[in-house]
Structure 1
Amino acid sequence: SARPRAPDAILESLSGPRRWGPTRWSRLAEGVFRGDKGSRKEDAGSAGLRREASSGAARAAKVEPGWRSPRNQSLGCGRSVAGRGGGRAKRGSRGASCESRGTSRRRPRSPGWCVGEAAPGSRMKRGGRDSDRNSSEEGTAEKSKKLRTTNEHSQTCDWGNLLQDIILQVFKYLPLLDRAHASQVCRSWNQVFHMPDLWRCFEFELNQPATSYLKATHPELIKQIIKRHSNHLQYVSFKVDSSKESAEAACDILSQLVNCSLKTLGLISTARPSFMDLPKSHFISALTVVFVNSKSLSSLKIDDTPVDDPSLKVLVANNSDTLKLLKMSSCPHVSPAGILCVADQCHGLRELALNYHLLSDELLLALSSEKHVRLEHLRIDVVSENPGQTHFHTIQKSSWDAFIRHSPKVNLVMYFFLYEEEFDPFFRYEIPATHLYFGRSVSKDVLGRVGMTCPRLVELVVCANGLRPLDEELIRIAERCKNLSAIGLGECEVSCSAFVEFVKMCGGRLSQLSIMEEVLIPDQKYSLEQIHWEVSKHLGRVWFPDMMPTW
C-alpha cells in the first residue's frame, strides 16, 4: 500500500505562498478595488483553505504506527501527532515487529528517557511544527479577515462623501467643460459645481459663426449663468468679434446683470470695434445698469465704445471710492471735461488710458493734487486718421513737472500714429515719457529731439524711418537716456559701426534688442558676420539680428 503523506508535507502544501500565487492575489486585488463579487469568492476560498488544512491535520493523526517521520528516524520514535497516549498503546507491537525482523534501529536510550518516548529536543521540534501549522492557519485567517475588511471598506467608500471644500479646490483648476462633466458624478459634486466661488469670474465670448472662427459661449450656458449665478459674478469680460449682432448680445447680457455687484468689467473688441456700430442710447442704457448696481467697481476697460460724459458721471457717483483702473482709449463721445470729472472724484485711480485729445493741463494738475494717490501707469494714444485735419494742442512744461513731482515712478506710455508733418507740437521740451512707440514713419529730426527731451526713456520702438541713417540719433539717445533697456528698429538704416558704438555705450542693460538684419548697413569697419560677435561681446550674451521669414 502507498505510504501516507507526512504531516509536515501536508502543512507545507497548504502554506500561503503556494496556494495564494500571484495570479490569485491579482484577482483578489482586482475584486477589492472593483467592489464586486470577486472579493467575496476569495473569502469563500480562504474558508475552504482552512477546512482543507484541518482535514489534513486529521489525516496526519491517523498515520500507521509503522511509519517513521524522516526527522524522527534517528530517535526510533513511532509516535504520531495524535498525542502521547496513542503512541504508548502501540509500542509493544512496534517492538515485536522490529524483533521479528531481527533488526533494531533504536539507539541506546539516555538516562531519564521512557521507552518509545522521543527526546525533549524532538518534542520541541514537533511542537515547533505544530506551532508553525497553527501559525499558518492563524495567518490565513488573518489574511482573510483583512481582505474582508478591505472589501467592506471599498464597498462603503463613496466619492460623494469627500469634503466639498476639497472638491471645490480641485474644481478651481478645471476648465468649465470638465467641471460640468464632473458635476454629473453625484449630487454632492453637482452642488459643488454651483458654489458661488466657482462663478466669480467669467468671460463671455460672443462670435458669429459666419464671420469668426472663434468658439462662442453657448446660449444655453449664458441663460443658466444669468438665471442661477448672476448675483455671484464679480469679474466679467466680453470678447466680441466685428459683427454688430455680437455687440448687441453683449449689451443684452449687461442689461440683465441687475443683481450683481461687479468688481471688474472689460469690453474687448477682438477685431473692428463693433460697439461703435450700436445706437448710443442702447449701449449707454446697458452700461448704466452695471454702474448703478455695482458699488465696488475697481477696474473698467471700455476702449472703442460710445461711452459719454453723463455715463461717466453715473460711474463716479457709485464707484468713486473703489475705481483704480480706467481704460477708455478711442472713446470719441467723451470730452476733456468728462475725464476731468473722473480725475477730480476718483482719488484712488492708479492706472489711466486715454487719447491725447482728452489730455489737458487741468487733467494733469488734478492727477497731481494732494488728495489723489500717486499714479502708476498713464497711457496716451496720439492718433491721426487723416493727415492735416487733426489739431494737436500743446501741454505746458509746468503741468508735466507738477505731475512727475507728485508721481515720480509713473510709467508714461505714448503711442504715436502720426504723419511726419504732425509731430511739430511734440518733443519741444523735456517730458517724463518712459515708453515710446512710433507706429508710422518718424523723421530723423523727431528722433533727435527724443534723445534730447526724454531722459526717463526705458523703451523705444521705431517701425519706420526712411532711407537716412540714424547713426547720430542713436548715439545721442544712448548718451542721454541712461535708463534705456529695450529698443526695436524696423524699416530703418543704421551703419554697423554706429550700432556697435550704441551697444557699447548701453552695455548689458539692454535686455531687449530687436533689430532687423536689413537695418544694419555694412561699412569699412564691420561686416554683418563681424557685428554678431562684437555686439554679443558688449551685451554679455549671444545675439543675432532678426530675420524676415522667407515664405
Structure 2
Amino acid sequence: MATAGGYEQQGWSTLPDHIVVRILLHLDLTDRYNASLVCRSWQACFHQPYLWRYFHFRFLTTVDPQKDRMWGYSQCLAKHGHHLRSVRLSLDQGDVENRHHACRVIESLATTEGRQLAEIKIFFTGENPLFYAGAEFVAALKTLFGPTPPTIKAPRSQIVHVDLSDLTVPFDDSVFMILAENHPNLQSLNILNRMLICKVSPSSILHLVQKCRKLTRLMAYHCSLSDDILACFAESDRAPVEHLGIVCRREEKYSKTLASELWRDLVTASPSLRVSLGFDHTCPLIKVGELMLPEIPVRELRLETFTRIFEEVNLAAAYYAPTLEKLVLQTRNSDDLGTALINLTQTCKLLKSIYVYCVLKREVVEEILASSPLIRETKDYILKWTADPEPWVVGVEEGD
C-alpha cells in the first residue's frame, strides 16, 4: 500500500459498501451502471436492494438516445423492480416518445412480481400538446392501481402515497374508485394538478375516504369535497387527519360552503389537523370570505386572486390567529391593505412566512418586520417597497 506525506493511500475498492451505495444513490441509471464497472466491490453495491428502494425515472429530452435509456430502465425493472419502494417519474410530455416510455414504466411497475412499491409521484415538466387529454396515463394509472394480475403469484404490496399534482391530465372518478378498492392502506393523496376543469366528484372522494381508513393527508379542490367527507374523516375508527390541502377556484360559483359544525367535529377528532387553504384568480371574490370559515385550523393561506383585497386579510387575522403560519398574497397595493397586513402580523404570533406579490409602502414593510420576530428569524418573506422586474412581479405593479 503506497504512502504519501505519511498518509496511506487506499484504492477506491476499499471504500465501505454503505458509502459506495450512498454515492450511487445520487447518480442516474447510466452513471450508476458505469460506476459499477470500477471494481467487483462496486459491482456488488450496484445490486444491493437498498440502492433500488428509491428511483427516479427521467424522460426529459429527445437529445438522449431514448431507446437506449428505455432499454436500461427495462433491464432495471426486470432485475430490481421488486425492490422499488418509492418511484419518481419525470417527463417532458411534449414528446410522444417520452409519453410512451413513461406509460410503459408505469405498466411495468403494475406487473412486477413481488413488488414493494409504496409511493409514486409523476412530474410533467413541459407543455401539453394541443388538445392533449393524457388518456394513456389515465389507463396506465388504472392498471397500476388495479387488482393483482393473474400472472403474478406473489401478492403485491399496497400503495400508500400517491402524488399526481404535477400530472396535468384530466383524471376522473374511475381512477380513484380503483385506487380505493385495491389500496385501502392509502395514507396520502394529492390531486391538485392545475387542470382548468376538475372532473373528480365528491362521491368518488367519499368512497375513497370510506375505504381508506388510514388516509391522513388529502390535497384536493374544494369542489371535490363535501360535508359527508368531513363527517367520514371525523369518525372514531380511523386514523386522525393530519393535513388537508384545499384550493378554491371557478367551480365555487356553483358550490356550497362546507358546514361549520362538521369542521368543529373534525378538529375535535383530529386536534393536530393543519389545513392549507388557497384561492386562485378564478374564484369569485364574493366566495372567498364565505369559504374562510373561522372553524378551519388554517396553517397556510394563499390569496392569489390578483384583485384589490384587504378585508380577507383582516378576516384571516380574526379567524386564524392561533394557527396561521404562512400567508401568500397576490393583489394590488392600497392603504387598507397595508393596515390589514400590519394587523395580521401583530395578531398572528405563529406567522413565520409571508409572501406579498405587490409593492408596499416602505413604512408598512418595516412595521411588518418589526411586529413579527418569527419572520425576522426565518427570513422567509417577500416584502417589496420598490418595483422589481422579476421574478415576482405579475403585470404592471403599482408603487407608492
The answer for the alignment partner of 2:161 in structure 1 is: 299
CA–CA distance in structure 2, aligned partners of residues 300 and 356 of structure 1: 19
1:328 to 163, 172, 191: 191
| Structure 1 residue 205: Cα displacement | 1.0
Matched, 1:440 2:305: yes
The answer for the alignment partner of 2:319 in structure 1 is: 453
CA–CA distance in structure 2, aligned partners of residues 227 and 308 of structure 1: 31
The answer for the alignment partner of 1:317 in structure 2 is: 181
Q: CA separation of 1:440/1:348 partners in 2, compared to 1, >3 Å: closer, same or farther?
A: same
| Structure 1 residue 244: Cα displacement | 5.3
What does residue range 503-522 of structure 1 map to in structure 2 within 5 Å?
503-508=369-374, 510=376, 511=378, 512-518=380-386
| Structure 1 residue 178: Cα displacement | 4.5
CA–CA distance in structure 2, aligned partners of residues 191 and 275 of structure 1: 47
The answer for the alignment partner of 1:484 in structure 2 is: 351
Secondary structure of the residue that 1:370 maps to in structure 2? Answer: coil
2:60 to 203, 207, 210: 207
Secondary structure of the residue that 1:448 maps to in structure 2? Answer: helix
Q: Which amino acid aligns with 1:196?
A: P
The answer for the alignment partner of 1:269 in structure 2 is: 124
The answer for the alignment partner of 1:170 in structure 2 is: 20
Q: CA separation of 1:190/1:366 partners in 2, compared to 1, >3 Å: closer, same or farther?
A: same
Aligned length: 359
- Asked whether the equivalents of residues 275 and 305 of structure 1 are also in contact (C-alpha less than 8 Å), the reply is no
The answer for the alignment partner of 1:378 in structure 2 is: 244
Q: Deviations over 1:372-416 (max 9, x none)?
A: 21222211122339xxx9434211211221122222222211221
1:470 to 333, 337, 346: 337
Return the index of the structure with the highest Cα Rg: 1
CA–CA distance in structure 2, aligned partners of residues 195 and 187 of structure 1: 13
CA–CA distance in structure 1, aligned partners of residues 383 and 257 of structure 2: 32
Q: Deviations over 1:456-475 (max 9, x none)?
A: 21111212234444233124
| Structure 1 residue 173: Cα displacement | 1.9
- Asked whether the equivalents of residues 254 and 286 of structure 1 are also in contact (C-alpha less than 8 Å), the reply is yes
1:398 to 244, 261, 264: 261
Q: CA separation of 1:218/1:335 partners in 2, compared to 1, >3 Å: closer, same or farther?
A: same
CA–CA distance in structure 2, aligned partners of residues 299 and 183 of structure 1: 31
* Gaps in structure 2 of 5+ consecutive residues: 4-9, 149-155, 392-400
- Asked whether the equivalents of residues 133 and 169 of structure 2 are also in contact (C-alpha less than 8 Å), the reply is no
Q: CA separation of 1:478/1:466 partners in 2, compared to 1, >3 Å: closer, same or farther?
A: closer
Matched, 1:197 2:50: yes
Secondary structure of the residue that 1:230 maps to in structure 2? Answer: helix
Secondary structure of the residue that 2:350 maps to in structure 1? Answer: coil
1:288 to 126, 135, 142: 142
Q: Calculate the aligned-residue CA RMSD, in Å.
A: 3.5
CA–CA distance in structure 1, aligned partners of residues 264 and 337 of structure 2: 30
Matched, 1:219 2:62: no
Q: CA separation of 1:431/1:223 partners in 2, compared to 1, >3 Å: closer, same or farther?
A: closer
CA–CA distance in structure 2, aligned partners of residues 397 and 448 of structure 1: 20
| Structure 1 residue 495: Cα displacement | 6.2
| Structure 1 residue 275: Cα displacement | 12
- Asked whether the equivalents of residues 205 and 238 of structure 1 are also in contact (C-alpha less than 8 Å), the reply is yes
CA–CA distance in structure 2, aligned partners of residues 221 and 170 of structure 1: 21
Secondary structure of the residue that 1:254 maps to in structure 2? Answer: helix
- Asked whether the equivalents of residues 189 and 217 of structure 2 are also in contact (C-alpha less than 8 Å), the reply is yes
Matched, 1:238 2:95: no
The answer for the alignment partner of 1:111 in structure 2 is: none
Q: CA separation of 1:205/1:401 partners in 2, compared to 1, >3 Å: closer, same or farther?
A: same
**Which structure shows the bigger proportion of residues in helix conformation?**
1
Q: CA separation of 1:470/1:333 partners in 2, compared to 1, >3 Å: closer, same or farther?
A: closer
| Structure 1 residue 429: Cα displacement | 4.5
**Which structure shows the bigger proportion of residues in strand conformation?**
2
Which fold has the larger relative contact order, with Cα–Cα distance below 8 Å and residues 6 or more apart in sequence?
A: 2
CA–CA distance in structure 1, aligned partners of residues 129 and 272 of structure 2: 36
- Asked whether the equivalents of residues 279 and 288 of structure 2 are also in contact (C-alpha less than 8 Å), the reply is no
CA–CA distance in structure 1, aligned partners of residues 274 and 352 of structure 2: 14
Secondary structure of the residue that 1:218 maps to in structure 2? Answer: helix
Q: Which amino acid aligns with 1:450?
A: A
Q: Which amino acid aligns with 1:296?
A: Q
Secondary structure of the residue that 1:423 maps to in structure 2? Answer: helix
Q: CA separation of 1:190/1:288 partners in 2, compared to 1, >3 Å: closer, same or farther?
A: same
CA–CA distance in structure 2, aligned partners of residues 515 and 421 of structure 1: 26
**How does the TM-score come out when normalised to structure 2?**
0.77
- Residue identity over aligned pairs, in percent, reads 22
| Structure 1 residue 317: Cα displacement | 2.5
Q: Deviations over 1:431-450 (max 9, x none)?
A: 32111112232412222222
| Structure 1 residue 263: Cα displacement | 1.0
* Gaps in structure 1 of 5+ consecutive residues: 1-31, 35-156, 520-546
CA–CA distance in structure 1, aligned partners of residues 333 and 207 of structure 2: 42
Secondary structure of the residue that 2:272 maps to in structure 1? Answer: coil
CA–CA distance in structure 2, aligned partners of residues 33 and 318 of structure 1: 59
Q: Which amino acid aligns with 2:382?
A: S
| Structure 1 residue 370: Cα displacement | 0.8
**How does the TM-score come out when normalised to structure 1?**
0.58
1:431 to 293, 296, 301: 296
The answer for the alignment partner of 1:539 in structure 2 is: none
The answer for the alignment partner of 1:13 in structure 2 is: none
CA–CA distance in structure 2, aligned partners of residues 269 and 178 of structure 1: 23
- Asked whether the equivalents of residues 365 and 385 of structure 2 are also in contact (C-alpha less than 8 Å), the reply is no
Q: CA separation of 1:481/1:333 partners in 2, compared to 1, >3 Å: closer, same or farther?
A: same
- Asked whether the equivalents of residues 415 and 437 of structure 1 are also in contact (C-alpha less than 8 Å), the reply is yes
Q: Deviations over 1:290-325 (max 9, x none)?
A: 22344331211123344332332322222213x211
The answer for the alignment partner of 2:396 in structure 1 is: none
2:108 to 253, 256, 262: 256
- Asked whether the equivalents of residues 107 and 143 of structure 2 are also in contact (C-alpha less than 8 Å), the reply is yes
Q: CA separation of 1:463/1:311 partners in 2, compared to 1, >3 Å: closer, same or farther?
A: closer
